[in-house]
Amino acid sequence: MVFKALFMAYTPDADYKKHRSIIDTGKYRLFTVIVKSQEEALKVAKDIYEKEKIDAILLCPGFTHKDVAEIFEILGGKVSVSVARGDGPSNRIVQPVIQREYYGK
């Protein structure tokens, strides 16, 4: 049996049909998809679940608690949904880079 997981991250220039990959070790299959909106995240999560019957979804820190709940709900509570969040110092390191690269600030 293969454990199947989906990792999703947000970025403003994503094309979810193009920015994706699969890593398969034989016992673990990891799907990665980069999306630019919650609407795309919901579509991707539902589509991959229906095709692959994934066991878990891991989300980048850009997803809010509400986003997580919507993804969990759209999949009928059948898939674990988690968010990768760093500690305070790690968040302070990455935040200026995200602001600069994504928003030109």
Q: How many independent structural domains does the chain possess?
A: 1
| Residue 77: predicted pLDDT | 96
| Residue 55: predicted pLDDT | 98
Res. 105: pLDDT tops 70 = no
Which CATH number does the domain housing residue 72 bear?
3.40.50
Cβ-contact 58, 82 below 8 angstroms: yes
* Residue 73 dihedral angles phi and psi, to the nearest 5°: -65, -45
CB atoms within 10 A of CB 22: 11
pTM of the model: 0.88
Query: β-strands 56-59, 3-10: how paired?
Result: parallel
CB atoms within 10 A of CB 83: 15
Domain with 93, as residue range(s), is 3-103
For the chain, percent of residues with pLDDT exceeding 70: 99
Q: What is the pLDDT of residues 49-71, one digit of tens each?
A: 999 999 999 999 889 999 999 99
CA-to-CA distance for 66 and 38, rounded, in angstroms? 10
Task: Give me the mean pLDDT over the 19-23 stretch.
Answer: 98
Cβ-contact 37, 13 below 8 angstroms: no
